[in-house]
Structures are given as C-alpha cells and as structure tokens.
Amino acid sequence: MAEKKRTHVEISVEEQLLIVKGYVKNRCNWPSVYADVKQAIHRLPEKCQALYKDGPFEKVKRRMSDQITKLSSKDPLSIQNEELRQLIAEIRTNDRRYTKKGHPNEKKLKHVKAKHQRKGNGELVADHRKIAIPIDDEIDVVPNDQAGVNHNQVVVNQEQAMVNRDQAVMNHDQVVVNNDQAEQAVVNRVQAVVNHDEAVVNNDQVVVNNDQVNNDQVVVNNDQVNNDQELANNDQAGLNNDQMVKDDHNNGPTPPKRKPISELARDAYEKYITMQERVPQFEDKMSKCMDKFLSM
C-alpha cells in the first residue's frame, strides 16, 4: 500500500491577512471565516488556492486556527506588517474582554479572604471571632449605579494590565539594548588586545633596530681603535703620515649620510605591508576570542 506524501504549503503574509480579517469579522465562526478567505482566493499563490478549493474543511480550519493562535501569542514588535499588527491587537483586546481569565493581580485581590475553620458540626467560623448576623437586619441590595461603578473599575483594571504589559515589553527591549552594548564592549576589549599586541610587535622591532645600530657603532669603534694602534706601532711613518693620522684622529669617524625621502618612504611602505600581512592573524585571534565569549 503506497504511503501518502505529506506536502507542506507555506503560508504568506497575504493569507495571514485574509485569515485575521475574517476572524475579526466573524470571530470563531470558522465556516464564515473560510468563506471570506475563499472570496479573495485569487490573491493567494496557486498551492494555497488548491488547498482552499480542494482540501478538506477540517484541515483548512486547523490551518487557520493555528495561525490565529500563533500570531496572538507572538510579540507585537516582531510582526512586520502594520495592518496585520493592528488586527492582532484588536483580537487580543476582544479576547481579554470576553475571556473569563482575569489579570493575576485581580485574582489575588478576589481570593484574599478571612481564613475559616470548621467545627465538628460543619459550621464555618472565622479565625478571630464568630460572625453573627441578626435575622431582623435588613439586607442591603447593591444598586445598579454601584454595579456600573464596579464594571468601570474592572475596565480600568484591564486597561492598567495592558499598560503594565506594554511597560514589560519596553523593559525587555531595554534589556536587549543593554546586551548589545555589552557585546560591543567585548568587541572593543578584543580590539584593544589586538592593538596591544601590535604595539608589542612594534616595540620589539624598535629594540631590534636599536640593537643593530649599537652593534654597528661598536664595530666602527673597534675598527678605529685597531687603526690607531697600527699607526702608533708604525715607527717608519713620516711626518706627513703622522700629521694625517692626527687629523684623522681629531676628526673622528665620518657620520653616515642621511637617507633621501624616497628611501624613507620605501622603508615605511615595506613596514606597512608587513603589518598588513599580520592583520588576518589578529582577526582570527579576535574571532576566536568572540567565539569563546559567546559560548560561555
């Protein structure tokens, strides 16, 4: 027996709009919602049209119900379409109006009552004293005006609950911003480590250059000392030769010529190219640091 292949039809924003509009208009009357969607079926892709035309009603109903549940429980800020976001907000308002579930704070206020204990005969008595109500006392009846005030108070509480929810969303956004700032601080710290490594490399290069210069100077001084010793041991040199040795000794070693600007520029460019070749290594190191931080 051949197995049935399950095909998934992607849902589009246009289909979501049609479903939500039909739900706002007809609420949980799914046949009416289905009929409204079929009236504008030409706006949907071909696979969606085939599903609404030929598919079983229960399957289409489950598809529409799942979309309403998914969008109603979704963060409003994550819904990109403005019209869809407004319709979902209207559905949430209607759900809060008709549902029996109140705000958690309202439930706490309703359930805050005096604790009672049961006697052996089953009579309820308060913890602190027994409450006795005279039979002759008249029972106060709550007027209609008071009932209207209570209804208005419930509406105010619902609006306050909506304000608290919006404030919670704003606080969540602030936490996200703080997390982004923390990640930026980590990136800056890693960049500082890379810059520090580059500074250490440059410092090592300066030390090498200084050592090279000092070594060359020592060689020149050694050559000068050997030359003077050789001239002193040469007793056969004439007066002119002695005079030349004295002049050479007084003048000292000839200072090296200054490099032209073109050579200095070439040396600087070569150092720059060398540093550019090391950049991928530092970037790889920074990437590893970021991966290690994000995996913590």
CA distance 158 to 164: 10
Domain ranges of the chain: 13-96, 180-294
Query: What's the pLDDT tens digit per position in 74-100?
Result: 888 888 889 989 999 998 888 887 666
Q: Provide the β-strand partners of residue 102.
A: none
Query: What's the pLDDT tens digit per position in 224-263?
Result: 645 555 544 555 545 555 566 565 555 566 777 788 888 8
The single-letter code of the amino acid at 231 is L
pLDDT above 80: residue 33: yes
Please report which confidence band the pLDDT of residue 192 belongs to, taking 50, 70 and 90 as the band edges. Answer: low
pLDDT above 70: residue 21: yes
- What are the distances in angstroms from CA 210 to CA 205, 215, 216, 264, 271? 9, 8, 10, 17, 16
Please report which confidence band the pLDDT of residue 210 belongs to, taking 50, 70 and 90 as the band edges. Answer: low
Residue 62 confidence (pLDDT)? 92
CB–CB of 83/16 below 8 Å?
A: no
pLDDT above 50: residue 134: no
Label residue 138 left, alpha or beta by phi (over 0 means left) and psi (-120 to 50 means alpha).
beta
Counting residues of the chain whose pLDDT is more than 90, the rounded percentage is 7
Average pLDDT for 56-78: 89
